[in-house]
Structure 1
Amino acid sequence: MSLLKHLTILPLTLSVLATAPSFAKDLDYPKERLNYTIAFGPGGGNDLMSRTVVDILRKYDYYPKNIRVDNLAGGSGAVGFNYVAQQKGNPYHLTSTSGNFLGTPLISNTGWTFEDFTPIGLLAQDAMLLVVRADSDFKTAKDFVEYAKKNRVVMGGTGAAGPERVVASLFAEKAGFTFDYVPSQDGGGMVTSLTSHSVDAIVANPSEVSGQIKAGNFRPLAYSEEQRSTVYSDVPTFKEQGYDFAFALPRGIVMPKGVDSDIQQWWVETLKKVVATKEWKTYLTTNSLSGNTVWGDDFEKNLAHTNSNFKRVLTQIGAIK
């Protein structure tokens, strides 16, 4: 059954007509089951986002056919993303992006990159906070920079070559200071490194430090997205404070390369409805994710820019040749 036929069994009210993509009458889509591949195991951040999207699609009947969801984990996302990339031109395959969507091809020979997919939308921004102890003398990012230009500073984060290291390096590059970096195995270790005075500041995913911020133990100085976080709206961006860079991991949706542009637009319009629901807003708040969105070809430009920064910093620190 086409989307048009599905909608015509409902009363033809203005509200129903408003929910359908404007070109639905000319597009015989969808006709088949949707295959949603999650490139990671159950329980992680990518899995949670993917299942939230699918639950909303089902609850509001935004996708009028069946939806099959499969976890296809392995190789830090390489196996699942490769499977979707191999479905070239097939409009019935979707997957969710993450930091590994960019990072894994940079450090491994995956046979695919972000360019082998059709971009639909960036639904959430997984950016980083620059955080210090609440009893620190640093009240702003500028305070930290002025100190760092005259003194040895140590910054911490999770992992030696992850997004935390990238943000710390871009910050230092734009502000003109040097630093030592101390990687932690996990978020708990990173928090401990700051509370124990082992480091002067940390670059952290908001979800890892939200409890400490709410408790008044940590002070966020800057946010690494292009725009302010929709959750931490009182924290200025690095750009606002004069440090011209932005970096956020792409929590978005892509399809295989070669999908028809009308179907790409159908999904853009459909996912715009998804992110307008109360369920999606709850997901963002619960997981400390910013809800700033980017669509279609602009999402592709966003991926290219983020990938370029990621690659350059990983090369500088010797993570890739």
Structure 2
Amino acid sequence: MKLILSIATLAATLFAVPATAQPAKTECLAGAKPGGGFDLTCRLLANSLQAAKIIRNPMAVSYMEGGVGAVAYNHVVGSRPADGGLVVAASSGSALLLAQKKFGNHDENAVRWVGALGADYGVIAVAPDSPIKSLKELVTEYAKNPAGFPIGGGGAVGSQDWMKAALIARAGGADPKKMRYAALEGGGAVTTALQGGHIKIAAGDASEMVKLIEANRIRVLAIMSDKRLPGVFANIPTAKEQGYDIEWPIWRGFYVGPKVTEAEYKWWVDTLTKLITTPEFKQEQETRGLFPFDMVGTQYDERVKADVKRFRALATEAGL
């Protein structure tokens, strides 16, 4: 019996997250209405934590819409800065908005960045009957005649899709401010416009393209990831493979308030570090259409701030 107890004690020591800093209750705040990307991010965390039995009680998910996360960001900094049980969903879109100073007086240093648990990736696509077969051909032809290549994206000027298109324009030496850009309502409208011939280039996300690729209704020229993606994307080269240093991961992660204690912050970092190794998390990530993108603690903090800096330079260059 003593041997069994000793082994159990050792296992608890090695694999359990510190109980001392574990909050009595946990909450994930989504800075938008239910059903969007922030909601998906919170549900990914809440469901997998519960399934993997890492937390004692179910995590609550709450919503605070406004400014694509801006209202939630200001709420946490101003009203709940020391709430150790609260994490807030964020994305690379949050970094982009911070770069454009759309979160008010607070910058990327106003909160503590905990970790990212998955990502989608940007893609550049053309119609299946387009004579353009590679990203290099597209960049070359676009540089010759930018006006002849209307580009569509699911968002206004300055959005993530607009930025993806701007990177392609810049790769060809063209001025992003002079793009013929059509701001459409979501990825579905973008691919419909592409197939209808209303635009010649589509900037979007990989997860939106799966069924269209399978049905040969779209041709993806490049994935904006650091390496090739699996499944239907396995034969599609990255932008880097084609000679362009372009990446656009749409990471999904979390931050906590600026006055959360070091022990509480470490508990969240340790918890996410443990979570990403579990089969329950991996299944939940796949179910929600996200690709692996696991980055926790200091590494994630540095990534967020590097992204803000990169986006700020791009936004300044583009005249935003």
User: Which TM-score applies when normalising by structure 1?
Assistant: 0.84
Q: 1:244 to 1:169 in 2, by over 3 A?
A: same
C-alpha distance in 2 between matches for 1:236 and 1:85: 41
Map 1:248-287 onto structure 2 (within 5 A). 248-287=249-288
Q: 1:115 to 1:226 in 2, by over 3 A?
A: farther
- Alpha carbons 2:132, 2:138 under 8 Å: kept: yes
Map 1:198-277 onto structure 2 (within 5 A). 198-229=198-229, 232-277=233-278
Q: Aligned residue for 1:189? A: 189
C-alpha distance in 2 between matches for 1:197 and 1:35: 46
Identity %: 25
Matched, 1:170 2:162: no
C-alpha distance in 1 between matches for 2:189 and 2:6: 54
* Amino acid of the structure 2 residue aligned with 1:165: W
C-alpha distance in 1 between matches for 2:198 and 2:107: 37
Alpha-carbon distance, 1:94 to partner: 0.7
Matched, 1:30 2:27: no
Q: Aligned residue for 1:79? A: 71
Alpha-carbon distance, 1:57 to partner: 1.3
Matched, 1:136 2:130: yes
Q: Aligned residue for 1:3? A: none
Greater relative contact order: 1 or 2 (C-alpha under 8 angstroms, separation 6 or more)?
A: 2
- Alpha carbons 2:46, 2:58 under 8 Å: kept: no
Q: Aligned residue for 1:112? A: 106
Alpha-carbon distance, 1:52 to partner: 2.3
C-alpha distance in 2 between matches for 1:257 and 1:240: 40
Q: Aligned residue for 2:139? A: 145
- Alpha carbons 1:104, 1:110 under 8 Å: kept: no
Q: 1:205 to 1:287 in 2, by over 3 A?
A: farther
Q: 1:201 to 1:284 in 2, by over 3 A?
A: farther
1:191-237 Cα distance to aligned partner (Å, 9 max, x none) = 12210122222111123222211211112121223344356344332
Alpha-carbon distance, 1:150 to partner: 2.8
Pick one of 73, 85, 88 that aligns with 1:92.
85
* Amino acid of the structure 2 residue aligned with 1:276: T
Alpha-carbon distance, 1:175 to partner: 3.8
C-alpha distance in 1 between matches for 2:269 and 2:238: 27
Alpha-carbon distance, 1:16 to partner: 5.0
User: Which TM-score applies when normalising by structure 2?
Assistant: 0.84
Q: Which ranges of structure 1 fall in alignment gaps of 5 or more residues?
A: 1-7
Alpha-carbon distance, 1:166 to partner: 0.5
Superposed CA RMSD in Å reads 2.8
Q: Aligned residue for 2:116? A: 122
Pick one of 26, 36, 48 that aligns with 1:56.
48
Q: 1:262 to 1:204 in 2, by over 3 A?
A: same
